[in-house]
Amino acid sequence: MVDRTRLRGLLARERATFAERHPASAAAYHRAEHLFGRVPMTWMNKNAAGFPIYLHSARGARVTDIDGHWYLDLSLGDTGAMAGHSPEPVVAAVHRRLAELGGASAMLPTEDAEVVGAELARRFGLPRWSFALTATDANRWAIRLLRAVTGRPRILVNSYCYHGSVDESLIVVGPDGRPHSRDGNVGAPCDVTGTSRVAEFNDLVGLERELAHGDVAAVLMEPALTNIGIVLPEPGYLAGVRELTRRHGAYLINDETHTFSAGPGGATAAWGLKPDVVTIGKAIGGGVPVAAYGLTGELAATLIDRDDLDLVDMGGVGGTLAGNALSLAAARATLAEVLTGEAFAGMITVATAFAEGVTKIIQGYGLPWSVCQLGARVEYRFASPAPRTGGESAACADAELEDYLHVYLANRGILLTPFHNMALMCPRTGPDDVARHHEVFGAALAELVG
Ligand SMILES: Cc1ncc(COP(=O)(O)O)c(C=O)c1O
């Protein structure tokens, strides 16, 4: 459907326009001699245009860059800013803690922590919570605890999952149907096929085959894959996972870091799931680093009673800044006043309009693409019907096409997440924003195939 020569020509034109429109960002990037890869974090080199846009300011669903352009931000920090940029209740809570009271990180608990724990318990149905600063750490610590409780060595994940830079999760089902280390796995401490097992999402037969080895401490999964496009669970799949994990004595961790977009209690509440552990990060701090994991009462009691586990010092679970006063003040304000049930209802309505419009435009051009919605999160993939597994979704990636759409949108004031084609709605994203996106997206497709 897509003429590659035409696509390459359009991509080159859009990149040239981008370079012309962003002289200040280009200069900042080329000046950054003291940064590894010229960026504060190497993944910021994942950009479609050749260098990143430099942030100047951000509020709600808008960001401005140092070249003086403003953008509708549909990336929202890849979920870190799902509450919108700098929401007022979070700014007030952070200001109070940092400037008025003082003590961002004093190694002492604050009363905010119990309030946040109680709210997470209400939303996700698990009674005991602990905090981290990143979802990666929440996952790392959760899997350590579950290995300790079960005495089993392995973790099972879905092929093409992403749970942060967790060693055990960098495994895929290869073309030969066997487990393989994920391509590009940096400095793995050991062969991941020795620490992990893997099954495709939506594949209960594969899951049961792997669990039957009897060495899996926990299945770490997203209730819908979100990091290889969105792959939704088929009817009965998640119930099957729960049944199989119970039958084979493995715990179930729902990583809700992105699937939180499904509603105020994530997919866990929206779909009535009963995991043993929930991990979550990013959005719950309203932009301030904080993450959390929640445990069943039974698990928490068993772990606390274990004298052989060092949970208070150097036993491998914990971080000095985890649970700090600043991040918990931000999380309390985010949950109580920003990412409320009412806010989610509005975000999901806007996302539904976004998904319907994108579907209509794609169909109008007869493109064999699909659109998936997960609450406030929408994504299109270059395959139809929508991929059922991570492997299928990885197979339909098209970097050139993705880059073209991303730069085209950026040149006209719209940011998608730099990873695949995800658009996320925050409480301040509105129908006018959706209309503007559709106008530009339609124009990009008209130039490509019209
Ligand atoms: C599902 C999921 N879990 C965990 C993480 C890791 O989050 P962080 O980068 O904050 O550690 C991510 C990041 O994208 C994620 O998508």
Task: Indicate whether residue 280 lines ligand 1 (CB < 6 A).
Answer: no
Per-residue pLDDT at 371: 98
Is the CB of 80 within 6 Å of ligand 1? no
Q: What angle do CA 288, 436, 400 make, to 5 degrees?
A: 80
pLDDT at 1: 78
Protein residue closest via CA to atom 2 of ligand 1: 163
Q: Is the CB of 255 under 6 A from ligand 1?
A: yes
The answer, yes or no, to whether any atom of ligand 1 lies below 6 A from the CB of 140, is no
What's residue 450's pLDDT? 80
Residue 285 in contact with ligand 1 by CB distance below 6 A: no
Note whether 246 and 278 are within 8 A (CB).
no
What spacing in Å lies between the alpha carbon of 318 and ligand 1's midpoint?
17
Residue with tokens 């000046």: 31
Q: Are 210 and 177 in contact (CB under 8 A)?
A: no
Q: 381 CB under 6 A from ligand 1?
A: no
In angstroms, the CA 156 to CA 211 distance is 8
DSSP state, 253?
E
Mutate to test the pocket of ligand 1, among 163, 170, 280 (most ligand atoms within 8 A of CB): 163
* Nearest CA residue ID for atom 15, ligand 1: 163
281 Cβ below 6 A of ligand 1: yes
Is 136 a pocket residue for ligand 1 (Cβ < 6 Å)?
yes
Q: What is the Cα–Cα distance from 428 to 157, expressed in whole angstroms?
A: 34
Residues 6+ apart with CB under 8 A from 127: 121, 294, 295, 296, 297, 300
pLDDT at residue number 353: 98
Q: Give the pLDDT confidence score for residue 219 in this predicted structure.
A: 99
Q: Take atom 11 of ligand 1 and give the residue whose Cα is closest.
A: 136
pLDDT for position 143: 98
Instruction: Find out whether 50 and 15 touch, Cβ atoms under 8 Å.
Output: yes
Please state, in angstroms and as integers, the Cα–Cα distance from residue 91 to each residue in 84, 287, 292, 333, 346, following that order.
12, 10, 21, 9, 22
Question: 17 vs 11, 27, 97, 434, CA distance in Å?
Answer: 10, 16, 44, 24
Residue 419 is predicted with a pLDDT of 86
C-beta 81 within 6 A of ligand 1? no
Q: Which atom of ligand 1 is nearest to the CA of 164?
A: 6
The DSSP symbol for 106 reads -
Q: What is the mean pLDDT of each run of 10 residues along the chain (450 residues)?
A: 95 98 98 97 94 98 98 98 98 98 96 98 98 98 98 98 98 96 97 98 98 98 98 98 98 98 98 98 98 98 97 94 98 98 98 98 97 98 97 96 98 94 97 98 96
